[in-house]
A = this chain, B = another copy of it.
Amino acid sequence: MRIVEKFGGSSLKTIAYIEAVAERVKAVWEQGHQVAVVVSAMGDTTDDLLERAELLDGRQSPENLDVLVMTGEMQSAALMAMALVRHGVPARALTGAQAGICTTADYGRARIESIDPALLETLLAERVVPVVTGFQGISPEGFYTTLGRGGSDLTAIALASALGADSCEIYSDVPGVFTADPRIVPNAKALQALSYDEMLELASQGAQVLQTQAVLYARQSGVPVDARSTFETKPGTRIAGGNSLPAEPVTAVALDVHVTKIGLMGVPDRPGVAAYACDQLAQAGINIDLVFQALSHENARADIALTVADADREQAVAVCRQTLQDLGGLDLVVDGEIAKVSAVGAGVRNHVGVAATVFRALADAGINIQMISTSEIKISCIVSRADAERALNQVHNAFDL
């Protein structure tokens, strides 16, 4: 078998952690499998580097910032390769560029354009373990790029795809994907399997387990992904294709507290107004999560409410303020004290009453629903942040997860 194994920063905190991971890789390699390893930077290295760059306004020169930040992964790759060699496993640290990862020239947030796995193939054929730096590549002009923070999962899945690997194992400090965040829902259980689509909808929970871009890439290329714990031997959660109708309508519930609600109040109630507001945000590169338009019955005006990620908040508010002025609206309301509770499952579309169950569960607990959004496999409700964790438990228990 050919396996790509990716280890995140929490699995590589110290030299002792690196040694433990090396022994784990060795055990697989000794069974005769071909193993390629992808690593993130050790512990807080990236934050430390960014802090230093901050003192020099590093964001003003993103191409130089990428050279700085990529050293974090180079160090962990080099140390991991040394640890493997020490344990008798031939290994070679490689940058993303050497691993053939060609990206766009968008420094700091480059996209993978193509992968030339020739060097990796050569090393694997020689029973050498390539240890590749995660989250980076090389631009068409030959300069180093990074994929943006957390792009290590994407690197691993993209390499697994290019190498035609049998699976891509993503190791972290959690043993897979749960029916809910176990820190909030004490009786949450680990899931054995999950579809790519379900994983995508669970992204807000899954951010700690697997990145959205990485899941999208896996879905597109069909690489089976195993989310596993570095510190346990359990198989973890397999994320793969499969459209079979699951027995349960809802697979897991998720909570996202990093959302902000922006209300454009008293805009003219005419067709195209909501579309215009969404368009302005899209042009600024801001993703809108939920949109809700309510008629205000007097004077033919309406209220539009939408949610964005907290990270986009400042920019989104600026765009919405301009939009409100363009439309002749009355007021802008910004509410950061909200949370999004989602019930996710491939069965949502095929089971009646899933939405009703969610609404009843929240109503029974006296929790007010501010906005609702549904997709084929998800129902999301915006609630007050103060109610967030109680809401998650209510919904989790309503589906007997």
Q: Residues of A with Cβ closer than 8 Å to B? A: 15, 18-19, 49, 52-53, 55-58, 60-61, 63-65, 67-68, 70-71, 74-75, 77-79, 81-83, 85-86, 91-93, 95, 98, 119, 142-143
Contact = CB atoms under 8 A, between A and B. Distances in A.
Contacts of A58: 82
A64 B78 contact: yes
B119 A56 contact: no
Contacts of A93: 63-64, 67-68
A142 B18 CA distance: 26
A21 to B, nearest CB: 12
A19 B68 contact: no
12 contacts: A53-B79, A56-B82, A57-B82, A60-B85, A60-B86, A61-B91, A64-B93, A67-B74, A67-B93, A67-B95, A68-B74, A92-B143
Given A15-B55, A64-B93, A98-B142, A71 B81 contact: no
A215 B68 CA distance: 31
A15 B48 CA distance: 13
Contacts of A85: 57, 60-61, 64
B86 A56 contact: yes
Given A68-B74, A71-B75, A61 B49 contact: no
A393 B61 CA distance: 51
Most buried by B among A53, A64, A74: A64
Interface of A is mostly: helix
B49 A75 contact: yes
Contacts of A81: 61, 64, 67
A292 to B, nearest CB: 43
Given A63-B92, A93-B64, A74 B75 contact: no
B79 A52 contact: yes
A77 B67 contact: yes
A142 B119 CA distance: 10
Contacts of A67: 74, 77-78, 81, 93, 95
B68 A79 contact: yes
Contacts of A55: 15
Contact of A92 (B64, B74, B79, B119): B64
A82 B61 contact: yes
Given A64-B81, A68-B74, A71-B75, A56 B92 contact: no
A394 to B, nearest CB: 48
Nearest to A97: B97
B78 A68 contact: yes
Contacts of A82: 53, 56-58, 60-61, 64-65, 68
A309 to B, nearest CB: 28
A134 to B, nearest CB: 14
